[in-house]
Structure 1
């Protein structure tokens, strides 16, 4: 693995870091945003979910401009959008302006979630592809932790601390832009554009001349032909309809575990549970650190234990923990730091199962000819559910009143609901997901279609 390949991978992975950083930075800022702009529960939900709506649109519409202009130029545009979003949110004088810039950030996040992993896979030689592809998921988790740490350290700097929290995202955005200036263009994109000599040069430099360049060009051309043929297929007709719907529900049940709610609202969740603002923020950092540790553990064991076993173990663990958290808030029988311990356990179960496995499944479970479209549809379903849950969460917890006791009651019902749908997810995944560990993509294709 040479310096050029590493530099290009790290540059693209910074898009994943910004993905995690910009989505979760709202967590710490929200406590003061609500007071500063006098937000109703509905507007509070829209403030969080506006970025996720941007994500949905970003994933839908980034492919065509990327095909036309290439990943390098489009990623540079995304870096500018990340920077503009951070600065615009930090300087916003009205909630409408704030939401507009958060939406722009969402467009960048959604686009990066598609472009960055695709770019990394396209520049990676086969023997390094698995490790390098994992850097994007790891970068997202690191970005989440860094945003929570940033929130914690900026909490007590004054009345406008939330502005500095949001402005902090401009720093990694600048680093992202500068790193992108020295990356190589994707060989696959160059082949699509007929620039074969430049494609050969990049393949040789990225692989240190360790692979057959001519054979790689032929394989890319065949892959492009397969991809174009796949675009003419109606994926909602037999024999692809069943696996497409399974992919959709894989994406849906991933978000119905409530992971977005916990990471976007953890400071408020802890605050409603009775903790001070500084304690709430510190506990959110613990959640972020737990997420990173158990993501690394999952990445280390996924090929040994198997996707389905890890997924079902984590899913059932989350059912128990979410149910206990809701029960504790409802009855008062579980309180204080036991509630913190339950959420830490919840993050551990999620990160070691759904957090890693769902994206591996979406990249493996579909037949070759529709793989890109199938994964895209599953991801789209994931974003839609995420946006919906995070919009309705503050509305639900305020339904019974705005006192702390009323909000605790509303939040208890929300977590019991999440436990119930996570249990339904366990039953569905146990019935319909096949184990893909140790199988070729061709073997998986035969199992899911026949």
Structure 2
């Protein structure tokens, strides 16, 4: 009988040497004899200081040729044990795939979260100051300035400044909105350069300027935001990463564009354009004004929940791409079908061509339903019903995946917050201990 005794951390296992098969050449079970470093001559057994629960699954695999992993042990630990015993992970049975592979997926999700929202608050890549042995006085001033401007938790004055900055952003956004109200705009003496073919709203916008009170508040808010951006750019330790940040770039364009539009609001008589160039000027001006709306994202940029939402959307990029491709194909198919069955209709509500029918398909599949075009023939109504049902199904499936991803990131964020509390608690304990030691030394 080739019966052998294996002691795994105090748990005794007995099996036949003939059962040990389907293992890698690196496995310690490959050559079990008296010369093995694991052999105990006194007890006449092989001792391994490894996990006994996993080895029970390993031994069961030798007997049954089926590898089942324990659900009460971390999957990473199971993988390490299987690697030690020389069993390829591909032999795991299908019924244990979820237990075995879920941990890897969870770790990937957790790594993404910690990279995006680290436990040790680094705030941003562009604000990570490295400790320099001989720190100059200028660098120290810049570091304090950056901490004051960027980290509102650094001091009470930083919190007050951050609150004032948020109020300024809110006021600037409100001013951007009220400028479009006709009662708050006044006519100026500049000659209109528009022809009669221009829209009434465009002529009214060009021939009027905001009220003087609105312009005055615009100057104050834009000056404050401009100075804030310039100071952050000067104090930032890594300006390359600072300029790569989307909100920093939009802030730069916003306050530069605001000064450009304010110059016209203050002195409209100084600008004259021919009727051939006015439209080309109005469009960039409107775009510059619209970019100012991105400032509101500053109010929620530091919110952890918003960061998790953005991370979930980024992590679900593949699913969203699949939705976009499937949605586009379905829209083209239903557009062609509707145009084909509506050819015999003389109704003005029928799409004029297949391209217009694509617009109808997108609006129908998203359940918006503007009603500018709709089917009037019986077959067209059937196509409309199929189109709307297909849109609901196509949108619902990827949204469920994205929602599940958000739920995973949110749960891991709660675990990260608990771990952060432990770090902060340890830091306070160490700081308190050092403080007590210093007091004892003084006495």
Establish whether TM, by shorter chain, passes 0.5. no
TM class by smaller structure:
under 0.3
Greater share of residues in helix? 1
Greater share of residues in strand? 2
TM superposition score normalised by structure 2: 0.20
TM superposition score normalised by structure 1: 0.20
The structure that has the greater radius of gyration is 2
Greater RCO, 1 or 2 (C-alpha within 8 Å, sep 6+): 1
